[in-house]
Each structure stands twice: as structure tokens, then as C-alpha cells.
Structure 1
Amino acid sequence: MARNSEKANAMLNKWLRIKSGLSLNDTYIARRPRLTTDVTDVRTAEHWRNMAVKDVMISISRIQNASLGEFAIRDLNDEINRLIGIRKRWDERVVELGGPDQRGLSSSIENAHGAELRIGGGGYRYFGAAKNLPGVRELFEQQEKEAQFTDTYVSRAELHRKINVDYYGFQGSEHEDLEAAEAELERSLHRAGFAGAGEVYLGDLEGVSAVSTGVQLDEPLRAAVHEHLLRVGGGGDATSPASP
């Protein structure tokens, strides 16, 4: 019987090492470690990460065949999702050991071949013929309808998130002159409302434009204010504007 050293130096084993990405001086690992933390070498972690990606792509290629049968397709789709979880853990381990971050590249490849079903918690993907399985197609149609409804529907929580301090007037206004003119008109309206004789007090209406703010009232605004004062005071013709 040949020794282990002789087996390791055999031409076939050398070729298998090169194909798997391990150098001839590395210890050959026949089984993937159950825990990624057991691997402390970045090259070994990259090797098992590449093997996981390879297994995922082979399984995705197999699941394109719709003639496998419903049960075989479901089992194969479950296996793909399990392998994706393994690939993610090895990607994280490679980054922890100082290797390149390839998580985005791996996810983009898987997203191009599979569709995620977000109903019921999300995180589970369907690939190939699994997307047309009985019950799965209906769930994807329901998800698409809900997505279209979500694009046009704005919830109460989203409306509250858009409210800022400007909505409540906590910040200083940029139109101080306009606010001063509005305050002066408001005082005139209050005086008109409390006039006991029913006569409208229009004394300050003519002097609003002469306040220190420098805001000039145009004719439409003056007419609107005059009409409101007449309506509040209960006298005069509400249709005739005040003279400038």
C-alpha cells in the first residue's frame, strides 16, 4: 500500500490541488469546516468561499430544468439558499482576516438569477423553475401588486417623518416685514370686531402702508381687507373696496 506522502505527490493529486486553488505546500482539506472561525488563514478562507460560490452556481444551473419535478426543484432551491448562507459566512470571514471584500459581487450575481420573496419575513430566494412552482407564482404576483400600491400610498408615519421644525414655526421667518404688516392688520381686525357701535374701525387701514415695515398694500389686498372688515363690523357695503 502506498504511503500518504506518495499519494500526495501523485500527479493526479497535484492537479487537484492546483484546480482547487491550493498550493502544493498547503495542507489539503477534504471537507469544508463547519465553523468559519476554525480557519485562520485568509487563503484557505478564500478557497472555501470560492468553493461555496461554485456550488451555488452549479445548483442554479441545475434548477433551470423544469422537468426535474416539483419536489426535486423545491429541494434544490432549499439547497441553493443554504449554500448562499454558507457563502455569506465565508465572505465575512475573508473580510475579517484582511482579505478582499467580495460580498457585493456575490450578491449581484445571485440577484441576477433569483428573486426574493419578501412576503412572510423575506430573505428567501427562488431560482429558475422554482419561481413557477404552484403557489409561488401567486405569491410573486401578490408581492408585485403590493409594491405598486406602496408606491402611491403614503402612510401616516411617513407624513410625520417629513414634518420638520419649519412646519411648527420654530425657526425664524425670512419674511419679517410681511409678518409685521400682517400683525398690524390683525390688530385692526380685532378692533373692528370689538367695536360696540357696530361701526368698523378703519383708521389704521389707511396707515398700514405707512408702518415702519415699508410694506405697501396693493389694491386687491386692500379691497379684500376692507370687505372682511365690513363683514365683521356688520355695516356698509361689502362689495365696494376701500379707497387708497
Structure 2
Amino acid sequence: MARNEEKAQSMLNRFITLKAEEKKKPKERRPYLASECRDLAEADKWRQQIMREIGRKVAEIQNEGLGEHRLRDLNDEINKLIREKSHWERRIVELGGPNYTKHSAKMTDLDGNIVDVPNPSGRGPGYRYFGAAKKLPGVRELFEKPPELRKRRTRYDIYKRIDASYYGYRDDEDGVLERVEAPAEVKMRAEAEEEWRRMEEIRREAKKAVKSGEVVSVGVLKDLLFEEEEDVVEEERREIEREKIEKEREFVVHVPLPDEKEIEKMVVERKKMELLKKYATEDLVQEQNEAKALLNIQL
């Protein structure tokens, strides 16, 4: 009994479904060209339909397990629908509707950063990659940023940051150096004052001894003349160095040098010999030598 009821129920369901489909209007097909549409509402309806198709395909392309070929086909289909959507958006603007291109989505890389999409044709958006298609071989490199090259600093950039602090002229401004050097400064100042007082005491005693005619001890004289002795030794050392430099500058000639007349005579004789070798024959030279021998002429 239950079996027959199920059959009747299924037949009834099929009958109701067929009647409902008969009442429906035939499914409209989207026009191939957007320029064929004359109604703004129709144009907006077809745009919404394209948007739904893009959404389904974008959700499907997120699956990385579809394979490289299927991902590339899906990405091509999405780009085709995007171009078609741009045609319908331009048609909507022509029919007096809103401009949807102002609020269109931007292209992003793997990190979510907005990327400029190149389009050589200059019409509509360029080719885009979605979902797992961004990780395909040859596509990932398009979204990777080139490594930043470290710019080499020029000499001007180096010297531009050099100021008084670089040379240590502002080390005293923070007060640290003053606190560190304060004990050493007090110690050196005390030692200098003590040495000055001792030398003043020695000079005072020496003056008293000179006025009274007394003999001053050797130790006192030694301390008194210590500084003057250093000055004398330093002066003598400078004098010796000065004399040594002057001696090095002197140039002593150990070979007698000819004067101007002798040099001129040597040049004339040399020119004469060159002319004789050039124009005189051997017989003429021999006759000239014999004549000089007879006349007892020596050159």
C-alpha cells in the first residue's frame, strides 16, 4: 500500500513540476553585445548576472587542488567575464545609469598589497590573476617584489652628517666627561701648586744668600737651576741640528770645472772635427797633418 502511495506521490510531484515549468516564461539569454540593450533595468540585470558568475568562479578558483590546467582555464573565464562586465558598465553609463567603475575592486598580490595591472591596449582592465592562480609557475614571479638595492652613499652624504660632535667638541655638554676628569684635575692642580711653591721657596732662599754673601748648598742650586738647565740643553740641541742641516745643504766640488772660454773652445774644435769628417777626404786630412807637423803646430 505504501509503495503505491509513494508512486502516486512521485507522479503528482512530476506533474506539478511540469505545470510550473509550462507557466514560466522561456529563459532569456544574455545579449552577446551590450550595445543591443536599450533598457537601463535590463542592462543592470545582466550586469548583476555577470557579477554572480564571477563570484562563483572566484570561489572555485581558490581550491589549489584543481590542477594547473583547470586553474588557468578558470582564470581565463573570470577575465573574460570581467571584460564583459566592463562593457555592460559602459552601456549603463550611456543609458544614464550610475558609474560602477569608480568603485571597482583593485588587484592585490599574495600579501594583499594593491598591484597596478598593466594593460597595453588601454581599454578596460588588464589581465588579472585570482586565488590559487597567483601561485602557478611563472605567475608567482610577477607578484614578487624585486630586492631593494642598497644605494651607495656619496662623499657628500658622508660629510653632510659630520659636525662638531664628530670631532669631540661637544663632549663636555653632557657633563659626563667633567665628572670623570674632576678628580684627576684636582690632583694635577695640587701637584702644580706644590711644585710652584717649592720653586718659589728655593728662589727666595737663593736671593737671600746672594744678598748676604752666604754660600748656597749644592742641592738648592741644583733645584733652582733645574728648569734653566733644561732650556740651555734644549737650545744647544736645536743649534746642533741647525748646523747639521746647513752642512748637508752645502755642496763641495772636488773636481776642477772648466770656465766658459775653455768650454767654448772645446765646442769649436768639436764642430771643426765634424766638418772635416763630413767634407774632407783622407788625402786632404793627411796633407793637413803633414803641414802641421812641418810648421810645428799643435792643436
Coarse TM-score class (shorter-chain normalised): 0.3 to 0.5
Larger Rg: 2
The TM-score normalised by the length of structure 1 is 0.44
Higher normalized contact order (CA 8 Å, seq sep 6+, divided by chain length): 1
Which structure has the highest helix share of the two?
2
